[in-house]
Chain A
Amino acid sequence: GEDVEQSLFLSVREGDSSVINCTYTDSSSTYLYWYKQEPGAGLQLLTYIFSNMDMKQDQRLTVLLNKKDKHLSLRIADTQTGDSAIYFCAESMGTDKLIFGTGTRLQVFP
């Protein structure tokens, strides 16, 4: 079945690292994505990882994929107040349809 789960909230201090976790159930997923949604706006793609990769780094963002445990994480280094948003993971099974997680609201405090 298709089910993507995330914790609903995360609160971190400015300058610390944030780690947002995601679990999925469909082992046939080919691409996994992280999207960011700022208040009152649509979703913007942050980064993605192909299922045959373990890790991908893009500036302050690090994506880790544990395919055996079906676990995906997004690490944001040196978290800033501008990183406060809702973060969604999403999976694709090789089609252009995406299955989204429930979203994690990240709050960054000074």
Chain B
Amino acid sequence: NAGVTQTPKFQVLKTGQSMTLQCAQDMNHNSMYWYRQDPGMGLRLIYYSASEGTTDKGEVPNGYNVSRLNKREFSLRLESAAPSQTSVYFCASILADRKTQPQHFGDGTRLSIL
């Protein structure tokens, strides 16, 4: 009964370091999403993937890359971390053929860039 699993839960990086945030879902969902959550700004979409092999930019894609490795996994990469990328990152997934189905969220990755 895992749902959406994100790793790691916490990470501290130095400016310029690279890092990949992992996300996996076991619900056979088609669409997957990466959001960042910042105080007073809600959730902003970074990238999403409507199906295996496809990815699209969201609202704030700069400084990030993504890979939809297979139907289960959607990773987010920071090639050269910057302090402005300090945030809480959430992965979500949805079956996508019924709009009343909720997006299922992971518990988040808390990332600090020093």
Residues of A that sit less than 8 Å from B by CB:
4, 6, 8, 30-31, 33, 35, 40-45, 48, 50, 88, 92, 94, 96-98, 100-103
Contact status A45-B103, CB under 8 Å? yes
Nearest opposing residue in chain B for A95, CB measure: B99
Contacts of B108 in A (CB 8 A): 40-42
Tell me if A's interface is mostly helix, strand, loop or mixed. strand
Known: A42-B4, A42-B108, A96-B50. A101 touches B99 (CB 8 A): no
Contacts of A97 in B (CB 8 A): 33, 45, 48, 58
Contacts of B105 in A (CB 8 A): 42-44
Q: Bound state CA distance, A98 and B104, in angstroms?
A: 12
Residues of B that sit less than 8 Å from A by CB:
4, 31, 33, 35, 40-45, 48, 50, 58, 90, 92, 94, 96, 99-100, 102-103, 105-108
Contact status A102-B42, CB under 8 Å? yes
